Amino acid sequence: MPEKTSGTLPDDPEDRAGTIGWAKLLNGSWPAGAHEPGLTAWAERLADLISPAMADHLLGTDPVLDAPLVNPERAGKGRLYSRFLLEAQIGALRLIKETGAAFMCTKGFALAHQVYAEPAIRIIGDLDLLLHPADLPTVTRRLSAAGYAPLPIPSRFGFISDSSFLPIISADGQVAVDLHIAPDAWPAPRALDTEAVFRQAVPFRIQELELWRPAAEHEFFLILTNIAKDRFGPEGVRKIVDAAKLLRAVSGFDWDMVAALVKAGGYRGTLAALGELMGQLGAGSVVPAVLRKPIGLVARRELGAVTVLYRAARVTQLGTLGKLRRELLLGPGLLSVLRINAKRLSGLARPGTGVPPGMA
């Protein structure tokens, strides 16, 4: 079992269950002699974080009792919905293909078809697409004509992203398309822009559709930037599983490319935190030592608290002060965090709408 951070990870049944469960999630197999009575309860909490279908697919049955860890009825319903959602998202892709606009599938949809044996179980939430800015009105007009409309998100700061827009929802409310004109929000574009992602794109096929996804190194960088943006919150649980599966699936992974992106974007601290968190959860030394920035005492204490929550599958949303604290300690650097929060404050006076060009 992985080494534990002194003083932060109590050796209790819930902790032992999390240690066993994360070993299976990150490495694909149960540790020798693994069993803990609390494993089923842990798996059900994990299902709340990553989806019942995904938890059932990745965990399967108890290694000793050979009984399902996730309630079979719950997992079955989750699988049915994931398959339905996948087909609905493919329908949205067909609409966009009709426009002739170049686009790339990113984040969960792309990873689902690259590193998951059953892609449908990873189809959760939005369909994220990266476009050239010039193609954005063409795509939004086509979606609008098909009944899609932007979904307002209540926020006292307005919509502040400079890389994406409000989710565009299908008329039946089932499909949410998230259109991006940059790979991720500031400061990610300092390191990786849209043209670079398109230049190194990798083709893949779904049914009759020829599609594109980012290179593996770009995918990993975007997992990192999203974890920073989510402040290692509940959404990060799924992203850590994605990162582990991606690194296992890709031979010849170019860490030098990742190092250059992380340095240019200011994410060295976040990469160090992610690598240590994954190691504490059982993935081993996934990030080369040369790329790990020393973690300060206060940041290490924060990371220890994050590790406890992740191990127990009890990750909850932070309040405003908690988000700011974690952003400062585990985020993309002080100046970037100050700029992000300055934009939030400016949104109080002039809130952005987030409605993309070409849509009412």
Q: What is the predicted pLDDT for the residue at 4? A: 42
Task: Flag whether 8 is in a domain.
Answer: no
Report the pLDDT value the prediction gives residue 158, as an integer from 0 to 100.
66
Measured CA to CA in angstroms, residue 242 lies from 5, 185, 287 at distances of 24, 20, 15
User: Within its chain, how far is the Cα of 294 from the centroid?
Assistant: 24
Residue 358: inside a domain: no
Q: What is the mean pLDDT of residues 220-227?
A: 98
| pLDDT interval class at 354 (50, 70, 90) | confident
Angle in degrees, 0-180, between the axes of helices 52-59 and 13-27, rounded to the nearest 10: 80
Cβ neighbour number for residue 251 with a 10 Å cutoff:
6
151 occurs within a structural domain: yes
Residue 354 lies in a domain: no
Q: Is residue 73 part of a domain?
A: yes
Q: Per residue in 30-49, pLDDT tens? A: 988 777 889 999 999 999 99
Residues 188, 261 contacting (CB under 8 angstroms): no
DSSP 8-state secondary structure symbol assigned to residue 164: B
Rounded to 5 degrees, φ, ψ at 150 are -70, 145
* pLDDT at res. 11: 67
Distance CA 41, CA 69 (A): 8
β-strands 168-169, 149-150 pairing: antiparallel
Task: Let me know if residue 360 belongs to a domain.
Answer: no
Query: Could you tell me which of 279, 263, 278, 273 has the C-alpha nearest to residue 295?
Result: 273
Q: Is the pLDDT of residue 146 over 50?
A: yes
Identify whether 262 is part of a domain.
yes
Say how far apart CA 156 and CA 347 lie, in whole Å.
8
According to DSSP, the residues that pair with 202 across neighbouring strands are: 213
pLDDT tens profile 198-215: 999 999 999 999 999 999
Q: How far apart are CA 111 and CA 223, in angstroms?
A: 10
Beta strands in 90-240 (DSSP E): 103-105, 127-131, 149-150, 168-169, 176-180, 202-206, 209-213
Count of domains for the chain: 1
- Residue % of the chain over a pLDDT of 90: 79
| pLDDT score at 169 | 96
For residue 228, tell me if it sits in a domain.
yes
Residue 188, CB half-sphere, CA atoms under 13 Å: how many? 27
pLDDT band, residue 337 (cuts 50/70/90): confident
Checking if the pLDDT of 350 tops 90, the result is no
What SS3 class is residue 5? coil
Tokens of 170: 């299908």
pLDDT at 9: 41
Q: Which domain holds residue 115?
A: 13-349
Give all strands of the β-sheet with 149-150 in edge-to-edge order: 103-105, 127-131, 176-180, 168-169, 149-150
What is the pairing mode between strands 127-131 and 176-180? parallel
